[in-house]
Amino acid sequence: MAFLRFSKKGQSQKLLHQLKYRNKPEIGEEMGRLYGLSLANHGYQKEWDVIVPVPLHPMKQKRRGYNQSEKFGVGLSKSLGIKLENFLERKKFTETQTKKSRLQRLDNVEEVFDLKANEEISGLRILLVDDVITTGATLCACANVLLANGAKTVDLATIAAGG
State pLDDT tens for residues 75-91.
999 999 999 999 999 98
- Residue range 3-30, pLDDT digits in tens: 999 999 999 999 999 999 999 999 999 9
Kind and range of the H or E run holding 52: strand 50-53
Task: Report the relative pairing of strands 50-53 and 125-133 from DSSP bridges.
Answer: parallel
R_g of the chain, CA atoms, integer Å: 15
Residue 106 has pLDDT above 70, yes or no: no
What percent of the chain clears pLDDT 70, i.e. is strictly above it? 90
**How far is 75 from 117, CA to CA, in rounded Å?**
26
Query: Where residue 134 falls among pLDDT bands split at 50, 70, 90?
Result: confident
By the 8 A CB rule, do 90 and 113 touch? Answer: yes
- Residue range 33-48, pLDDT digits in tens: 999 999 999 999 899 9
Alpha helices by DSSP H, listed for the chain, are 11-21, 25-41, 58-64, 68-80, 102-109, 137-148
